[in-house]
Structures are given as structure tokens and as C-alpha cells.
Amino acid sequence: MDKLLAGKVALITGGSSGIGRSIALRFAEHGASVVIADLQAEPREGGTPVHEEVQARGARAAFVRCDVTALGELEAAVDAADAFGGLDVMVNNAGIFRGKDVLEVTEDEFDTMMAINVKGVFFGSQLAAKRMIRKGGGSIINLSSVAGLQGTAQYVPYCASKGAVRLMSYALADELGPKGIRVNNIHPGLIETTMTTGDVALFGAESGEQMLQSIPLGRGGKPEDVADVALYLASDLSRYVTGASLVVDGGLSRF
């Protein structure tokens, strides 16, 4: 079971911190060369930049500064994979998580949510697909959310953005399948990251505690829980899986 991604090249957007960081480390453990695309190399939770950590373990890695709403920067990140032999796996992980009364959401806040969570995924997938077609195929993994499966008060724009990612992925799977490219969604639930402990402090908050109590497996998730599912979707173990939504939430949504 080791080295499931030997010889593969992967790009992870939002790869410096949280779930993206865990995915990058797991991919590298299994033999992949990884390109980390993010606004900064330093993890938000502290510690060594992930590309340096991967390199210290003897694997190949690179960091590319990337704002996924800027197509030129996103294309440069995809191009960076060429130095390792060309892109095989694209993980569109970069995203933001915000909660606010729907009556108070501004136009700028809505546009920012859609630019990062939807536009970034669309053009990340488009640019990756162009490279993968040249190589004869690949795997695109899009990070949606349980909020892309069911609506939740106070998170209307976020739910809308993650629902868009889900349906976008299904359409991409239909269009790109004949070209040898698989496209799948991961829907994380309550995962403990800086985003859920700082940006929107769910852990420790009343709403977060209510969510925790409703999880059948009895705990919140860890970034590694999501990384292992991404590893499956990136590897040949999922060679006949496309257009799928894998829910990683401990049973919270029970889909």
C-alpha cells in the first residue's frame, strides 16, 4: 500500500495550511512530487513551510505564490508542475469560510466568496485539464463541503459557493471523462483547522458544540482524515471513480 502516487505530480491550492497542508504531506509520503500554491508559504498554524518539510524528507516539492482569483498566478502554479514532469493530480482546495446574517452580506463579500470558492476551482480545473490531456489523463479533486449538500442559516453565500463546486464537478466529470480525466468532490464536515477555530470559531462555540454532539463517530475531524480520502481519489485505487461526492464528516450530515 505504500507509494500509491509514485511518479505522480500533484498541485494543491491552499496547500500551506490546514487540509491542504495535510494533503500535500500525505501525497509526498506516497511518492508524489508536490507543488504548493498559496498566498504564503508559512502555515497559518505555525511550523515549517510544507514544501521545505517535504524536501527535508527527500521528496520533491516547490512553493508558488498564488491568488486563485488571478488567472495569471493560477496558470503559473499549474506551469510549475512541468519542472517535475507535468501535472497528474490537481487538488482545488483553496477557499474561504465566512458566516453572516444573510440580510447583512455586502456585494463585495459575496463577490469575494464566489471568486475564491467558485472561480478559482473552475479555472484551476480548466488549466489542469489542458495539461492532463497532453499526458493522457489525470485526477481533479475539488474540495466542497457538507455545506454544499445542505443549506445552513448564517452561511448562505458559503453554501451557494460549495453547492456550485459540487455540480461543477459533476459536469466536469461528464465532459472530461472521455479524455481520461476523473473529477471528484470531497465534502468535509467539521474539521479542526485555523479556519474553523479562528476565522469562524466553531470549536468551543455553542453552534460548534451542538454539531459535535450530533456526530455519530463522536469527534470532530482532523485534516488527516480528509487527506487520506484525497489520497484514494488521486491514486489508481479509484481508477473507476468519477463524478462522485465523498463525504468526510463522521456521519454529521448522514448522506
Active site residues: 158
What pTM was computed for the model?
Answer: 0.94
4 lies in some domain: no
CB 124 within 8 A of CB 92: yes
pLDDT tens readout for residues 10-60: 999 999 999 999 999 999 999 999 999 999 999 988 899 999 999 998 999
250 lies in some domain: no
**Rounded to 5°, angle at Cα 194 from 191 and 199:** 105
pLDDT category at 201 given cuts 50, 70, 90 is: low
200 lies in some domain: yes
Determine the average pLDDT of the residues in 130-149. Answer: 97
255 lies in some domain: no
245 lies in some domain: no
Range of the domain at 26: 9-239
What integer pLDDT is reported at residue 213 of this predicted model? 84
What integer pLDDT is reported at residue 157 of this predicted model? 98
Question: 125: domain CATH number?
Answer: 3.40.50.720
What integer pLDDT is reported at residue 205 of this predicted model? 63
207 lies in some domain: yes
Handedness of CA 49, 233, 4, 77 (dihedral sign): negative
252 lies in some domain: no
CB 21 within 8 A of CB 50: yes
Q: How many domains, the chain?
A: 1
249 lies in some domain: no
